[in-house]
Amino acid sequence: MSFQEELEKRRTFGIVSHPDAGKTTLTEKLLLFGGAIQVAGAVKSNKIKKHATSDFMEIERQRGISVATSVMAFEYRGKKINILDTPGHKDFAEDTFRTLTAVDSAIVVIDVAKGVETQTEALVKVCKMRKTPMIVFINKMDREGKDGFDLLDEVESKLGLKVVPLSWPIGMGQRFQGVYNLYKKQLVIFRPHSKQDNKEEVVVIDDLANAELETIVGTEAAAELRDEVNMIEEVYPPLSEEEYLNGNISPVFFGSAINNFGVKEMLDCFVEIAPFPLPRETEERIVEPDEDKFTGFIFKIHANMDPKHRDRIAFLRICSGIFQRNTNYLHVRQDKKIKFSNPTAFMASKKSVVDEAYPGDIVGLYDSGNFKIGDALTTGEKLHFKGIPSFSPEQFRYVDNADPLKSKQLAKGLNQLMEEGVAQMFVKEVNNRRVIGTVGALQFEVIQYRLKNEYGASCSYEPINLHKACWVSCEDNAALKEFMTKRKRDLAKDIDGQLVFLAESAWTLKMAQENHPEVSFHFTSEF
C-alpha cells in the first residue's frame, strides 16, 4: 500500500461526553464492529466511580486500566480507526483537553434524558477552538428522555453546534421502535432484548409515503415519523461534508449503545465522512500529513505502574511522514537525537512493537524522563507544535517538603509529575515557595501518593488563597518592569520559566488588568 493510501485509510478520533452518558459502552460496541474484541465487557471502564472520588487506590487501579485503553485501534471497512480514550472524570479534564489535540475528529455522546451536561459543554468548547469536526450520538433511546427536536435545539444553543440529523428516532423508551436513517433512507428496527449483535434488521424505504411503513411501525408512529421527517427537511440543511469537515455543522445520530443499536449507522457514516489525518500547526509553519519527512508530538505521558522502574510511556501522535523503529530522530526541545527500539502500537487490548507508523497513528515510546507534554520529534527540522497549552488551574496549594532528607527526591518527583501533566507548579518570586495548581482536588492526593510510592518523597500541603494563575506578556519593557516591581508579591514562574501572575481574587486580577493596560494576561500558556 502506498504512503498516500496508508494516510487516507486512517481515522483518529476521540469520544467526548459527560460521565455516564455511555462513552465506554459505545467504545466497546465500536470495537466489536471492528472485530477488535469478541465479547462485550472487554473494555474496562476507565471512569472513576462517583463514590470513589477520594480513594486514590482506585485512581491507581484506574491508571493501570487507562494505559491499556489509551489508544484502541481497529480496522473497519478498509479503514484503520484509532480511538483515543479520554478520561471522563472532571478532575482529569486537562488530560482530556490534551488528548483532543491528537485527534482529527470527535464523537460527542449525549444522554437522551439528561441532555447537554456541563462536561460535554467544556469538551465541545475545546473541540470548537480547534475546529475539530464532531458527530453527535444521542444515546439511551431505550429510555424515556427529551423530545428529539428539543434536544437538537439544546445542542445548538448550549454547544453552539449547527446540527443536521442523519437518523431520526421512532418513539422512545417503551415505545422506541427504531430509527429512520435519513442518510441511507433505511428503516432500522429495534428489537429490545434481542442481542442485536452486529446485525440489525434493516428495511430500505426510499419513500416514506410507502404503506409498508404502517405495516412495520403502526399507523400512529408512521404518521408521526412522516411529519417529523418533513419538518427536519424544512428546518435543517442537507449534509454538506465540507461544512462538517470545517467544523461548522455536526451530523446527529440517535441510538442505544448498550443495545448496540444505531451504532452501525453512525460508524458507517463516520468512516465515509470523518477526516483522515489533518495538517498540524507549528510556530514555524503548517505541517501537512503527506510530507515525506516524519514529524510528531507527545500529547500524553503515562508513568509506569511498577515503582521499581521509573519508565514512562510517552504517547506520540504522528503528524507527517513515516515513523520508523531504530531510526534517529531529533528531540527538538533537548536538541539531541534519539532512537526507539521498542515503539509500541495498540490494537485494542494487544500491544505490539511496530516497525513503522503513519500519520494519524499513535505510538507509545518508552521514556526514562526525556519527554514532556508538547515535545516535538522530527527528522531534523526545529518545529514547535501549537495547540497543546496548559490551562489556568482552579485549585491551588503550597507544597512543602515533609522529609528533610528527601528534598532531592521531592524535587525530582514533582518535576516529573509536572512533565507528565498531572498538575502545574509555580515557584513564587518572593520566597521561592512552590505552589501546585490543579483542575480538581483529586490531583493533590494523586501527587502525594505517587511521590511517596514512586520517589520515596513526602510532601505536605498548606492552603493558599488564589483565584487564578495567568501567564503574562508585555511588549513594552518599561511597563513590564513597573508591573513586576509593583506586583512582585503575586508573581511566579512556571516550570518553563514563563512569568505567571497569581491572582488572589477576581478583583485583584481586574485591578491588575486596569492598572497595567500594557500587560496582557493569558488564561492558557500558549498565546
CB of 264 to ligand G4P, least distance (A): 14
- Specify the DSSP element, H or E, that contains 73: strand 71-76
Q: Which of the 8 DSSP states describes residue 392? A: P
Q: Which stretch in 79-87, 257-265, 392-400, 456-464 sits in contact with ligand G4P by CB under 6 A?
A: 257-265
# of chain residues touching ligand G4P (CB under 6 A): 19
Query: How far apart, in whole angstroms, are the C-alpha atoms of residue 161 and residue 170?
Result: 24
Query: How far apart, in whole angstroms, are the C-alpha atoms of residue 148 and residue 307?
Result: 50
- Pick 145 or 360: Cβ nearer ligand G4P: 145
Query: How far apart, in whole angstroms, are the C-alpha atoms of residue 299 and residue 96?
Result: 10
- Pick 113 or 221: Cβ nearer ligand G4P: 113
- Per DSSP bridges, beta strands 323-324 and 376-378 are unpaired
- Pick 102 or 112: Cβ nearer ligand G4P: 112
Query: How far apart, in whole angstroms, are the C-alpha atoms of residue 492 and residue 466?
Result: 13
**Is 62 near ligand G4P (CB under 6 A)?**
no
Q: Which stretch in 12-20, 187-195, 226-234, 511-519 sits in contact with ligand G4P by CB under 6 A?
A: 12-20
- The torsion defined by the Cα of 80, 356, 366 and 303, in degrees rounded to 10, comes to -10
Cell readout for 463 is 492552603
- The identity of residue 17, as a single letter, is S
CB of 65 to ligand G4P, least distance (A): 12
Q: Which stretch in 17-25, 149-157, 346-354, 425-433 sits in contact with ligand G4P by CB under 6 A?
A: 17-25
* Residue from the set 139, 295, 320, 344 that interacts with ligand G4P by CB under 6 A: 139
Question: For 60-65, which contacts have Cβ atoms below 8 Å and span 24 or more sequence positions?
Answer: 60/305, 60/449, 63/302, 63/303, 63/305, 64/305
Q: Measure CA 478 to chain center.
A: 41
**Is 21 near ligand G4P (CB under 6 A)?**
yes
**Is 17 near ligand G4P (CB under 6 A)?**
yes
Residue 168 contacts residue 254 (beta carbons within 8 Å): yes
- Pick 30 or 377: Cβ nearer ligand G4P: 30
* Residue from the set 10, 13, 19, 287 that interacts with ligand G4P by CB under 6 A: 19
**Is 20 near ligand G4P (CB under 6 A)?**
yes
Q: Which stretch in 19-27, 120-128, 232-240, 332-340 sits in contact with ligand G4P by CB under 6 A?
A: 19-27
**Is 96 near ligand G4P (CB under 6 A)?**
no
CB of 222 to ligand G4P, least distance (A): 24
Q: What sign does the CA torsion over 232, 236, 237, 240 have?
A: negative
Cell readout for 330 is 531529533
CB of 265 to ligand G4P, least distance (A): 14
- The torsion defined by the Cα of 30, 33, 34 and 36, in degrees rounded to 10, comes to 80
439 burial level (CB within 10 Å; 0-12, 13-18, 19+): buried
Strands (E), 131-195: 134-139, 162-165, 167-170, 178-181, 186-189
CB of 262 to ligand G4P, least distance (A): 9
Q: Which stretch in 22-30, 89-97, 240-248, 376-384 sits in contact with ligand G4P by CB under 6 A?
A: 22-30
Q: Which stretch in 139-147, 286-294, 385-393, 475-483 sits in contact with ligand G4P by CB under 6 A?
A: 139-147
CB of 74 to ligand G4P, least distance (A): 18
CB of 169 to ligand G4P, least distance (A): 12
Query: How far apart, in whole angstroms, are the C-alpha atoms of residue 278 and residue 249?
Result: 18
**Is 45 near ligand G4P (CB under 6 A)?**
yes
* Residue from the set 257, 330, 414, 451 that interacts with ligand G4P by CB under 6 A: 257
Binding mask 195-214 toward ligand G4P (x if CB under 6 A, else -) reads: --------------------
Residue 136 contacts residue 253 (beta carbons within 8 Å): yes
Q: Which stretch in 68-76, 117-125, 225-233, 250-258 sits in contact with ligand G4P by CB under 6 A?
A: 250-258
Q: Which stretch in 140-148, 159-167, 343-351, 361-369 sits in contact with ligand G4P by CB under 6 A?
A: 140-148
Binding mask 469-508 toward ligand G4P (x if CB under 6 A, else -) reads: ----------------------------------------
Q: Which stretch in 59-67, 137-145, 228-236, 328-336 sits in contact with ligand G4P by CB under 6 A?
A: 137-145
In the chain, % helix, strand, coil (3-state, to 5) comes to 30, 30, 40
**249 Cβ contact list (under 8 Å, min separation 6):** 161, 162, 163, 164, 237, 239, 240, 243
227 burial level (CB within 10 Å; 0-12, 13-18, 19+): exposed
Cell readout for 43 is 473494555
**Is 24 near ligand G4P (CB under 6 A)?**
yes
- Pick 8 or 85: Cβ nearer ligand G4P: 85
**Is 140 near ligand G4P (CB under 6 A)?**
yes
**Is 55 near ligand G4P (CB under 6 A)?**
no
Cell readout for 27 is 467504545
**Is 258 near ligand G4P (CB under 6 A)?**
yes
- Specify the DSSP element, H or E, that contains 99: helix 93-99
Query: How far apart, in whole angstroms, are the C-alpha atoms of residue 108 and residue 347?
Result: 23
Write phi, then psi, for 319 (nearest 5 degrees): -105, -35
Q: Which residues bind ligand G4P (CB under 6 A)?
A: 17, 19-25, 45, 47, 88, 139-140, 142-143, 256-259
